Amino acid sequence: MIDSTTSASSATKKAVTCANCNLDNLCIPKGLSRSEVGELALLVNRNNIRQKGEAIYHAGSPFRGIIALRSGSAKLLSFDSNGNELVVDFILPGELLGFDGVSSQIHNCTAIALETVNYCHLPAYKIEILAVNTPGLTQVLMQRSCDQFDAQVQKMMLSRRSAEERVACFILHISDRLSMRGYSELEFRLSMSREEIGNYLGIAHETVSRIIHLFQARKLIEVKSKQLKITDKKGLINFYAN
């Protein structure tokens, strides 16, 4: 019904579709009825792959639709008038991207894979088709786009805090987002470089290094290259919440 297999059962193993995707509580389908999800599944392009460093879309290219990361992570970049990169956001598995192209129908950000990614793609023209038959979708998309707004407010909060507080908050934020989709909340891999973290947080990459070192000295975390382990979550929280 939906995939290369002939079975129409939603329990089919090999055919990954919206109905049996393990991201269904995080992705667009959350909040949709079963029949609406079915309709959505018909229109989604699945199994798009990009290798590390490759672009998912470029700033200046036409908006083609909303994208859901199934695995791997990515960074969202903008560029200032001098061509300097600004890391706008990191996108983790199960999260959506593409909203930077909705308003003007031209992307003003570039999305780059930080590691091999597999993503689903809901084409723009199909969104309109869907909107007619599935009123729920409109609201879900609206919610997701406004999620971004909430996230940006949080980000503004950070810009008012010290470098140490920013890094603590960054680590905890990544932890929360990963645990929400079933990964370990205390031990994970930071797929982005110190440079990219610093760019994102608005501090120099040397400062990121120094602070990570400091956190280790205080027994809050353990770091080995990109692998990170939170050993004192409360300590980290107290660090920026006081």
Interface residues with DNA (CB under 7 A) are 162-164, 193-195, 202-210, 212-213, 223, 225-226
Minimum CB distance to DNA smaller for 1 or for 79: 79
Out of DNA, a copy of itself, none, what residue 159 binds, judged by CB under 5 to 8 A for its kind, is: a copy of itself
The three-class DSSP label of residue 54 is coil
Minimum CB distance to a copy of itself smaller for 71 or for 108: 108
Question: How many C-beta atoms surround the C-beta of residue 143 within 10 A?
Answer: 12
Give how far the C-alpha of residue 17 lies from the chain's centroid of Cα atoms, to the nearest Å.
20
- DSSP bridge partners of 63: none
Contact window for a copy of itself (CB under 8 A) among 10-18, 131-139, 167-175, 188-196 = 131-139
Out of a copy of itself, DNA, none, what residue 78 binds, judged by CB under 5 to 8 A for its kind, is: a copy of itself
Binding mask 198-217 for a copy of itself (x = CB under 8 A): ----x---------------
* CA angle centred on 87, ends 66 and 213, rounded to 5°: 130
Contact window for a copy of itself (CB under 8 A) among 50-58, 127-135, 183-191, 215-223 = 127-135
Q: Residues of 192-225 as b/e, b for ≥16 C-beta within 10 angstroms?
A: bebebbbbbbebeeebbeebbeebeeeebbeeee
Count of residues that interact with a copy of itself, criterion CB under 8 A: 37
